[in-house]
Structure 1
Amino acid sequence: MTAISPQVRDALATWSAQLSGVHGAAQNTVAAYLRDVTGYLHFLAIHRGGTEGLAGLAGLPQGDLRAWMAHERARGVSARSLARSLSAVKNFTAWVADRAGVDASTVLSARAPRFKRKLPRPLSAEAAQDMIEIVADQGQDGWTGARDRAVVTLLYGCGLRISEALGLTGAAHPLPEVLRITGKGDKTRLVPVLPVARAAVAEYVRLCPFDLAADQALFRGARGGPLNPRLISAAMERARMQLGLPATATPHAMRHSFATHLLSAGGDLRAIQELLGHASLSTTQVYTAVDAARLMDVYEKAHPRA
């Protein structure tokens, strides 16, 4: 960070600390934002031939911002990644402008590059159920098969992220009818637990050879330590090869399947947003596009063009 002035470096540290402490941004999000803004500041130092003060950063002409964006695209940064970087730069610039009393509208009005949002790739209801069964059958002994079944059932039956499922402790057993989950940014949400999920976890606990203390991980590896998420990914990879499913059939696809199947069954979009723990409704709305795409696929198969 030698190309960045001490004043700006201190501002970066304060800004990132507030993102985490005040706004509850996840650690990975803060780290990504810091990388993006630091890269932007280094570019400006070279492009403008010197370091910028806080007021100068907030009042930059849009030509300099466009030059940075062109530089990023030229070195192979995708439109999606550049849009994220620009969001970080705008966030930091707005924060600086507020403290420096400078008009930053030129930077803040810059448009992000357009990109086609990738749609989630859910499994069909039948494939999701088959995935659970095959994963369970692959266990080298009874308890690991029951463990993997329980984890994947939580992903599909409750819409949990793999980190959320493996973050459960022994205190969560027996699973209640409504589970309090702490997700990204330490935000909590209430998730109903289906009887099949409670039964799957209960069966795993019954067979597990380790003492599942209330303050220790609920799901354990072969040696008794916390279960590594890569083991669930590997189990699903083997299962999808048996089932002939695409490489997109990952643990996160089970969460996508949960949301898509709820929507297909008439679920309310706001309710699904709360169940998934999405901060913005626009994040959840992507599943409406998935549902529409699946409907069109069924329509075209039923009514092929001549």
Structure 2
Amino acid sequence: MPDSSTSASSSASSSAVPDATVSQDDAAAALKAYQAENNAANAALDTTAIAKAESGSLLALDQCNMVYDQGAGGTRAKQDEAAIALNNAAFYPVRATDYPRAFFATATGVQSGQPNSSVLIHFIQDKSGAPWLVDFDVALTSGQQWPAFAVDSSGALDYTATHLDQLALSTVDLAAADRTVLADNNAGQPGSPFLSDDATNAEQKWITNEGSSEAGATSSLTVTTDLNPAPTYIPLKDGGELALYGTRTAVRTAESGHTFTFGDRGWAKVAGADSVVGGFTAEAVWMNAAIDPADRAAKIQKIAYGGGLVSVHG
């Protein structure tokens, strides 16, 4: 007959829930590796190298930015090639029992020639031994700060803190509502669930500027939720959520038989042509972080964003 203490120990061990949650040390190592890989790729404007460090919306954005710089050159390209240091980092693991596993990091971005920025970065690892990739990266807008994240005693995010039944909107519904806000340009208006903020204003300015001002041309806007990565959230101490999601805007400019010439060499490089006949579509991806309060009557506010052009095609 087996020893009763051994039997009890074996039973407890076999029923234990496996833990694949990333450690603070491993998260710090992943951030350090990303900083080195990102800086090396940026210095060379290397679209292949950056794909070894990023994925999803962020990869599409940064690859397009590199192609633009290859065409435009000059001061902008030199600025984008400058190294970025990610200082004063804090890490927020997402509890996991298996792969894929993930964590968030906040840090201060320091780059010569630019003001410092406060960034939120999402890392994901698909399987054991696979590289950590960054698929989401946003920077705080002026005057904003990160809300207090809900964490457990180990420092991992505590998703039990969010009052899901009290949120102004669910994460998925919030991302969908933002599509309407951008299409109708009604942030801050009565009936809109969103406040008017710097992030939304930047997106609206981009949408306006994407359209052609050439006489006779017409512009039309399509707004969709970008699902790579899918909308997610960080739990907040006050019971709300920091919703994280991507939005894709596509502006189609057209005039039958008309030749549109790209005077911007960066746009020409992205489009793969100096001109197009009949029309073109400019697509942009916007990554957003929005405070969604645990109060159904409250308004939603975007506090951080990142984004820009990802493609130009006929």
- TM-score, normalised with respect to structure 1: 0.23
Higher helix share: 1
- TM-score, normalised with respect to structure 2: 0.23
Larger radius of gyration: 1
